[in-house]
Chains A and B, each alone.
Chain A
Amino acid sequence: MSNLPIQDWLLSDEPTSRRQAKLSRLFKGWVAFQTNVLAMIGLGILLLLIFVAVFAPLLAPHDPFVQNLGNRLQPIGSDQHIFGTDSLGRDILSRLIFGARITLYIVVLVAIIAPVVGLLVGTVSGYIGGVVDMILMRITDVFLAFPRLVLALAFVAVLGAGIENAVIAISLTAWPPYARIARAETLTIRSSDYICAIRLQGAGPLRIITKHIWPLCISSLIIRVTLDMAGIILVAAGLGFLGLGAQPPSPEWGAMISEGRRFILDSWWVATIPGLAIFAVSLAFNLLGDGLRDVLDPKSGRS
């Protein structure tokens, strides 16, 4: 029953330093988060994904690129190949394991690019207002009004097929909603008393935006990004499905589905296994996002 001293320190109602207050808040969040079983499952899946991606060469039973045309389309549960083999006789499990790296790569890159662009556009637009706001919001509207996959397709076609370009294309199509959110948050924060106080102290707009507005926007952005991540993985997979994502022989999961869909009627596992993997990761992000919202979003029903 007794708590460790560190827990006491973290749970203290009277923090003695800023650092303690901050850490204490994080810890309390974590405690609340821990009680959410589904969110923990999501986190678990994502940690597993990271683990698999990092240790891929150790975990994979076969080389994901080695072909064996004499041994193609082996069914699930074969001797050497638990998840069977694909059309070129490559081990599906090993490809899946190495594909985790690509998925992680996509996720991280998009998570870095899109919200940052959105944050930048949204806060600047919201803070400065006037003509700048109007122009930036019209641009945002233009991108919002585009069909997303079509826009991504167009960007990929311009930039050339490939996983990096697919990521850039997806990011370019994903930022407008973030800009909207960041702008809305900025508008409410901008007129608040404490921002006025900071302004009276002589802080410039750059300082106010980066030091005081951004940190406040971030929690709602994190939630939104986590929830959108599933959609982003699916768009990336969709590009792979149309042959414009990762280039062969890369074991990107969407491309694997695309390759395997030709055999869906007889060798269903070739497309289904990467499909399930995409499903698991998207689900994990959704569960995590839901959990984070409960913890971070003060408006949520739980609090």
Chain B
Amino acid sequence: MINLYRVFYRCLLAASLAFASLTSFADTPDDTLVVALRIDDITTIDPAESFEFAGSDVSRNVYQKLVNFDPFDLDAGYQPEIAESWSVSADGRSITFTIRDGLVFSSGNPVTAEDVEFSLRRAVALEKTPSFILTQFGFSAENLDETIMQSENTVTITTDKRYATSFVLNCLTATIGGIVDKKTVMANEVNGDMGNAWLKTNSAGSGPYMLSSWKPNESVALTANPNFSGQIPAMSRVIIRHVQESASQRLLMERGDIDVARNLNSDDIKGLRDADGVRIIDELRGRLMYFALNQKHPELSKLKVRQAVKYLVDYKAMESSFLDGQYVIQQNFLPRTFLGAVDENPFTLDIEKAKGLLAEANVDQLEIEVGVREAQERIEIAQSLQNTFAQAGITLNITVGTGKQILGRYRSRDLDVYLGAWGPDYPDPHTNAGTFAYNPENSDAANATGLLAWRNSWDTGGLTEKTAAAVEESDRDKRAEMYAEIQANFRETSPFTIMFQRIEQAAVQDNVDNLFLGGATTAATYWTVTK
């Protein structure tokens, strides 16, 4: 027996020694930026196809666009990037861009007008999801020869009618406006896909970085583009690692194993504020949290009911408790810092007022279902709503599902209430106006599943026309005024209760400077970072 024990204890001893020898740690290298971020939404890196959050971050650091935002001064709006300058034709339908000399792709090929023409045509012709950002100007696979044309060092785009120039240029700053290297891409073409399959996992841009690897749900690695025409970034490598849990991100941060943590919840942010050597940066982002009432429901379609629910949300309590620091009250569909954004937030929790409105609508005891995806903060918002709705006699049943499951039902107009988030696709007011307040054809047959107003079967009560008019107005101030008016109407009549706007809080190590998350209008920049 003695031997047995001895063997056993020896094993234990060996195990504990093994533990003890593993305890050496080092900081991250000086020329590498290590970021923890959920990247499970990345399905492709191709700028003609990529449209989710983490993907647009990668794209912003890899591809240049005709016009783009200066990370040090987002408020200045779009600035020349690949385009040196541009001019607008007399009828306002054509914009001619002059291409800057001396820009180089990561392959070493120069950036030419031909590449610009190719990239924009390609984005339209591939007809991937974000292509609507370009096709809304009347471009289509059939008319590309007339609408997007190169001549020497200029590219001219011609829209189907007159639009505000700012609208067109804002759209070109979106991910889909990324300019790709025609020679490299076409060399990797398979079955006429214009390099789509290859660009999913490779990059061919002229930005400060190039993609060195993307392992789905695991990591993205960027390396500095050796041929970059501007200043070579201080961080020669950027590694973005997928870390699902906020607690894990915080632990990594506290141990100094990462430089930046971007998915921390409000309580972990609070915890990290006290940690040594860690700073918190806040940036207002464009994402809105809202819920919407399906207008097919006989009770929910009553105007008074739509108004009543807006008084049944405990905006303040949520903002100051579990959403603390991560969301700010916003009751309009344009995020703050967008052109035309207004600062009117008239609704507060007022059970009596809501009860009165419900009584006027002859609604007593209502039972409805809200669909929400399995994200903890949304489930908590839903539970808070459940609580306040109940006080006015509305029973709210929560159905939690995976994102795609709930979204599928929402798109087929099958939910009573949808609770979720909406982020702008491009930094122009039309991106939200065109979906919240625009629904030209409300029938089921129209199947306009991309429009939020359609998904909730709302005919917009005349806002569709006003939205269409606002997009053509080229006077900036007048345009802003039109959006203010649309939003005032929207607030009172729409079935949408917009509640909060997102603030992204990221924790960074003290030595990390000049990290910009992109504000409400664009995506994160890593090339500016120094440490």
Q: Please list the residues of chain A having a beta carbon within 8 angstroms of any beta carbon in chain B.
A: 65-67, 69-70, 72-73, 87-89, 157, 160-161, 242-244, 247-249, 258-259, 261-267
Could you say which interface size class chain B belongs to? 20 to 34
List 18 contacting pairs A-B, 8 Å CB cutoff, sorted by A.
A66-B387, A67-B384, A69-B317, A69-B318, A87-B321, A87-B380, A161-B400, A243-B379, A247-B399, A248-B379, A248-B398, A249-B386, A261-B247, A263-B267, A264-B247, A265-B267, A266-B268, A267-B267
A265 — which chain B residues lie within 8 A by C-beta? 247, 250-251, 267-268, 271
Contact of B376 among A161, A259, A267 (CB under 8 A): A259
Cβ-defined contact, A262 with B398, below 8 A: no
B398 — which chain A residues lie within 8 A by C-beta? 247-249
B383 — which chain A residues lie within 8 A by C-beta? 67, 88, 248-249
Cβ-defined contact, B380 with A88, below 8 A: yes
Cβ-defined contact, A266 with B267, below 8 A: yes
Cβ-defined contact, A72 with B322, below 8 A: yes
Interface flag for B21 (CB, 8 Å) = no
- Of listed A72, A157, A249, A259, residue having the most chain B CB within 10 A: A249
Residue in chain A with minimal CB distance to B375? A243
Instruction: Flag B240-257 by CB within 8 Å of A: 1 or 0 each.
Output: 000001110011000000
Q: Measured between C-beta atoms, what is the minimum distance from B492 to chain A in Å?
A: 27
Interface flag for B447 (CB, 8 Å) = no
A261 — which chain B residues lie within 8 A by C-beta? 245, 247
Compute how far the CA of A65 lies from the CA of B388 in the bound complex, rounded to whole angstroms.
Answer: 12
A244 — which chain B residues lie within 8 A by C-beta? 374, 400
Interface flag for B231 (CB, 8 Å) = no
Q: Please list the residues of chain B having a beta carbon within 8 angstroms of any beta carbon in chain A.
A: 245-247, 250-251, 265, 267-268, 270-271, 314, 317-318, 320-322, 374, 376, 379-380, 382-384, 386-387, 397-402, 405
Residue in chain A with minimal CB distance to B274? A266
Cβ-defined contact, A243 with B400, below 8 A: yes
Contact of A262 among B247, B386, B399, B400 (CB under 8 A): B247
Cβ-defined contact, B399 with A161, below 8 A: yes
Q: Measured between C-beta atoms, what is the minimum distance from A127 to chain B in Å?
A: 42
Residue in chain A with minimal CB distance to B405? A157
Cβ-defined contact, A248 with B400, below 8 A: yes
Contact of A69 among B251, B322, B402 (CB under 8 A): B322
A67 — which chain B residues lie within 8 A by C-beta? 383-384, 387
Compute how far the CA of A261 lies from the CA of B250 in the bound complex, rounded to whole angstroms.
Answer: 13
A88 — which chain B residues lie within 8 A by C-beta? 322, 380, 383-384, 387
Compute how far the CA of A157 lies from the CA of B405 in the bound complex, rounded to whole angstroms.
Answer: 9
A161 — which chain B residues lie within 8 A by C-beta? 399-401
- Of listed B246, B267, B317, B398, residue having the most chain A CB within 10 A: B267
Compute how far the CA of A34 lies from the CA of B489 in the bound complex, rounded to whole angstroms.
Answer: 75
Contact of A157 among B268, B321, B382, B402 (CB under 8 A): B402
Compute how far the CA of A204 lies from the CA of B322 in the bound complex, rounded to whole angstroms.
Answer: 65
Compute how far the CA of A65 lies from the CA of B402 in the bound complex, rounded to whole angstroms.
Answer: 24
Given A249-B386, A263-B267, A266-B267, A87 contacting B374 (CB threshold 8 A): no
Beyond the given A248-B386, A266-B271, please list 5 additional residue pairs across the A-B interface where CB-CB is below 8 A: A160-B399, A242-B374, A248-B379, A248-B382, A267-B267
Q: Measured between C-beta atoms, what is the minimum distance from A248 to chain B in Å?
A: 5
Q: Measured between C-beta atoms, what is the minimum distance from A254 to chain B in Å?
A: 13
- Of listed B314, B380, B384, residue having the most chain A CB within 10 A: B380
Residue in chain B with minimal CB distance to A250? B398
